[in-house]
Amino acid sequence: MKVLLLNPPFIGRFSRTSRSPGVSRSGTLYYPFWLIYTAGVLDQNGLEVSFIDAPAEGLATSEVIARAKESPPQLIVIDTSTPSIYNDIKVAEQLKENFPASFITLVGTHPSALPHETLQLSDQVDAVARGEYDYTIRDLAAGLSNGSDLSAVDGLVFRQNGEIVENRPRALIENLDELPFISRAYRKFLETRNYFFAASDYPMVMVITGRGCPYKCFFCVYPQTFHSRQYRPRSPKNVVDEFEYISQNMPEVREIGIEDDTFTVDQARAREICRLIIERNLRVKWYCNVRVNLEPETMRWMKQAGCHLVTVGFESANQAILNKMHKGITVEQIKEFVSNARNAGLLVHGCFMAGNPGETRETLAETLKLAKELNCDTMQFYPLLVYPGTEAYQWAKENDYLTTDDFRQWATEEATFNCVLNLPGLSTDDINAFCARANREYYLRPRYMLMKLKQVILHPNEIRRTLKGARAYFGMLRKGL
C-alpha cells in the first residue's frame, strides 16, 4: 500500500498546525507534526510512505501532482485548516482527477468538527478521519489493502453507496510512549531548515510530550476538537530519550520546541524531565508552552535543564474578560509570572487576544498598556479566532456576532489572521486595526529596542533568531500588514 501524506499548497508559508492557522508576520512556519506522526506510524507498520509539505518547500499543486506521479498513491491523506478548507478541497479534487483510483481522506481540526459538512463540499473526497488519526489512517490503509469493511475503522467518516457513514469515535491513545519519535520521521521525510519559530533559535524541531489539555479556555481548538481535555503525557524517560536522540542524530538542530498545549500541566513531571536532562548531561536548548500558574521552583529546574523561553497565553488585562473566556487565571498571576520568569532567567513570548466576550475599546487599551509594562521578549496580538467545534464559535453563532459563514474569511488575502466578529461597539475592522497597531507600538518602542540590543550584546547566541525574526517582521511592515 502506497500512502501519500500531504500538507497542501495554499498561500505562502501557511502553518496549518498552528493553533491559529495562518501566515505569521514573524516568518514562523510550524512543522506539520500531526501528519508526520502518522507518517511515523505508517512507516513503522511497513507501509510505503511519501510525504510532501508544500508550504515548506514552496510547491504549487502542479508540482505536488508531478511528484506524486513518481510513485502513484493508493491512499492520499490531506491536512486541512479552517481558513484553507475550500482550497484544500480543490487540491483534493485535482489529485482525484490525476489519481482516480486513490482513496482521499481529509484530516485536521476543521473536518473533525464538521465531518459531514466537509464531505458535502465535494464528492471527490472519500473520507474524513476525526480527531487523533495516527491509528485511524493505519487501520484505513490496512482495510483498503485487504478489501475489508471500512465501517470497522474507528474514527472514520466515509462515503458508502452514496451515503455518508459515521463510524464510532476512535478511543484516545492512552500510552503515547508506544508512538515512534516524531524526530525520526522528521529525519526521514523533512528538511529541518525549512521551518522556523520566531521566538526560538534556528534551526529547530517541534516535539509533542503530551496530548490533551485539562483547562477550560473557551477558544482553544485542539482540546475541543482533536485531543480532548483529557491530559495524556509521555513518560519523562521517553521524552528525554527523544531529546537524546535529537542531540545525537540531528546535529544541525539548535533548539527543541515542546508544542504541547500546556507542557507544565503536571509540574512534578516537568521537573522530573528536567532532572533527567541534567542527569544525562544533555546540552540542549528548548522552549515550551506553559500557564501563568508555573511555580518558581519549576522555572528554576527548567532553566537549569536548558529551557530558555516559555510561551504563555495572557489573553487580556481585564479580569472580567478572563473570567468570561474561562481562562482560569488572574491579572495578578500574569504580573507575578513575568516577574518570576525574569528572575529565573527565562524569556517570555506572551500572547494577547482582541475581541473577547465583553471587549471594549477601554479593555483593549488596558491590554496594550499591560503588554508594554510586562515588556516580554516577544509579544503577539491577534484577534479572537472562533473555530468550528469550540465554545467560542458557538458563543459567536448564538449571539449573531459572526460576519460571515465563508471560512475563507478566517484569513486575509495574504493568509494572515482575520477577525470575523462584529461585537457591540467593536467592528471587525476595529479589532483587526487594534492588533496591527498593538504589534507596531509594542515592537517599535525605544524601551523594547534597548532591551533587545542589551540582550544580543550580553547573549550573542540570541543574534541569529533576533535578526531572522526582525527581517520577517519588518518585511511584513513594508507590505502594510
Write the single-letter amino acid at 316: S
Q: C-alpha cell of 317?
A: 488585562
Within-domain flag for 185? yes
Report the CATH number at residue 142.
3.40.50.2300
Report the C-alpha gap between 305 and 303 in whole angstroms: 5
Domain end marker among 124, 139, 166? 166
Return the half-sphere exposure (C-beta side, CA atoms, 13 A cut-off) of residue 21.
30
For 234-288, the pLDDT digits (tens) are 999 999 999 999 999 999 999 999 999 999 999 999 999 999 999 999 999 999 9
Residue 463: what pLDDT? 59
Number of folded domains that form the chain: 3
Domain end marker among 100, 131, 166? 166
- Residue ranges for the chain with pLDDT beneath 70: 458, 460-481
Same domain? For 407 and 473 the reply is: no
Same domain? For 152 and 180 the reply is: no
For 103-140, b/e burial (b = at least 16 CB within 10 A) is: bbbbbbbbbbbbbeebbebeeebbbbbbbbbbbbbbbb
Same domain? For 415 and 470 the reply is: no
Question: What is the extent of the structural domain holding 149?
Answer: 2-166
Within-domain flag for 292? yes
Same domain? For 460 and 448 the reply is: no
Same domain? For 206 and 312 the reply is: yes
Q: C-alpha cell of 128?
A: 474524513
Residue 457: what pLDDT? 73
Same domain? For 263 and 181 the reply is: yes
Report the C-alpha gap between 155 and 152 in whole angstroms: 9
Same domain? For 269 and 389 the reply is: yes
Instruction: Tell me the longest C-alpha to C-alpha distance in the chain.
Output: 67
Same domain? For 230 and 285 the reply is: yes
Residue 466: what pLDDT? 61
Q: C-alpha cell of 86?
A: 475550500
Measured between alpha carbons, how far is residue 433 from residues 354, 382, 401 in Å? Answer: 10, 10, 18
Please name every residue paired with 5 in a beta bridge, in sequence order, or none if there are none.
51, 77
Within-domain flag for 171? no
For 368-411, the pLDDT digits (tens) are 999 999 999 999 999 999 999 999 999 999 999 999 999 999 99
Report the CATH number at residue 241.
3.80.30.20
Q: C-alpha cell of 466?
A: 533576533
Long-range pairs for 280-283 at CB < 8 Å and ≥24 separation? 280/240, 280/244, 282/240, 282/243, 282/244, 282/247, 282/306, 283/247
Within-domain flag for 123? yes
Write the single-letter amino acid at 193: R
Domain end marker among 107, 131, 166? 166
Same domain? For 477 and 436 the reply is: no
Q: What is the pTM of this model?
A: 0.94
DSSP collapsed to 3 states, the chain: CEEEEEECCCCCCCECCCCCCECCCCCCECCCHHHHHHHHHHHHCCCEEEEEEHHHHCCCHHHHHHHHCCCCCCEEEEECCCCCHHHHHHHHHHHHHHCCCCEEEEECHHHHHCHHHHHCCCCCCCEEECCCCHHHHHHHHHHHHHCCCHHHCCCEEEEECCEEEECCCCCCCCCHHHCCCHHHHHHHHCCHHHCECCCCCCCEEEECCEECCCCCCCCCHHHHHCCCCCCEECCHHHHHHHHHHHHHHCCCCCEEEECCCCCCCCHHHHHHHHHHHHHCCCCCCEEEEECCCCCHHHHHHHHHCCEEEEEEEEECCCHHHHHHCCCCCCHHHHHHHHHHHHHHCCEEEEEEEECCCCCCHHHHHHHHHHHHHHCCCEEEEEECCCCCCCHHHHHHHHCCCECCCCHHHHECCCCCECCCECECCECHHHHHHHHHHHHHHHHCCHHHHHHHHHHHHHCHHHHHHHHHHHHHHHHHHHCCC
For CA atoms 176, 177, 183, 185, give the dihedral sign.
Answer: negative
Same domain? For 331 and 395 the reply is: yes
Q: C-alpha cell of 160?
A: 458508502
Within-domain flag for 135? yes
Residue 454: what pLDDT? 76
Q: Do the bridges between strand 2-7 and strand 48-53 make them parallel or antiparallel, or are there none, so unpaired?
A: parallel
Same domain? For 207 and 121 the reply is: no
Within-domain flag for 260? yes
* C-beta of residue 317 within 8 angstroms of C-beta of residue 369: yes
Residue 479: what pLDDT? 52
Q: Do the bridges between strand 156-160 and strand 127-129 make them parallel or antiparallel, or are there none, so unpaired?
A: antiparallel
Within-domain flag for 240? yes
Report the C-alpha gap between 129 and 162 in whole angstroms: 18
Same domain? For 321 and 459 the reply is: no
